[in-house]
Amino acid sequence: METTASLSMPMDKKETDLAILFEMPLRQGKPGRSLQVAWNEQLPIIEGMSAKYFSILRTTASGTRPGNHFHTITKEIYYVLKGGIEVILEHRETKKQERFFLSAKRSQGLYIRPGVAHVIVPSTESTTILVVTDNPDMYKDEFKYEIAN
């Protein structure tokens, strides 16, 4: 039987130097719909993170590359709601890069550690991304950083 706890904990979690990629369970109990938990304060997906600011990012033109910045203290989680994206992460000192491909077809989330530069490259013409952060003033903690392909 599904419980709030079983729906709130990742089924799979892959931790890297720059991020954590995780997959959440889907509740399929009712015909024609499914439910994916994005955040449960009682069972945080990322230890030490408190979700305080939720925003929707939409891209509608090919070639759009949101990001190319980093945050010094802000923690972020991305969920793709429509379409697909590649997220390129870069360690600012070592220049080490990691790439993640996320799709609305999978119930994945990507946690980006503070200090890691990031850019989103949509793989579909139209994308919708839920951005969850722990900082309502995240735009004051946003610093330009160009990631080269």
Q: What is the pLDDT along the chain (149 residues), one digit of tens a residue?
A: 667 677 777 778 899 999 999 988 877 777 888 878 887 777 777 888 888 999 999 998 878 888 899 999 999 999 999 999 999 999 999 999 999 999 988 889 999 999 999 999 998 889 999 999 998 888 899 999 999 87
Residue 63 pLDDT:
80
DSSP state of 31: T
Task: Look at residue 105 and tell me if it is in a domain.
Answer: yes
Residue 115 counted as domain residue: yes
Residue 132 lies in a domain: yes
Residue 67 domain flag: yes
Residue 149 in any domain: the answer is: no
Give the side-chain half-sphere CA count within 13 A for 142. 14
Please check whether residue 8 lies inside any domain of the structure: yes
Note whether residue 70 is domain-resident.
Answer: yes
CATH code: domain of residue 12: 2.60.120.10
The residues facing 61 across adjacent strands are none
Determine the Cα–Cα distance for residues 129 and 114; give it in Å rounded to an integer: 19
Give the domain range for residue 59.
4-144
The structural domain count of the chain equals 1
Reduced to 3 states, what is the DSSP secondary structure of residue 5? helix
**Has residue 112 been placed in a domain?**
yes
Q: What is the pLDDT of residue 2?
A: 67
- Smallest CA-to-CA distance from 4 within 23, 22, 27, 29 is with 27
Q: What single DSSP character describes residue 134?
A: S
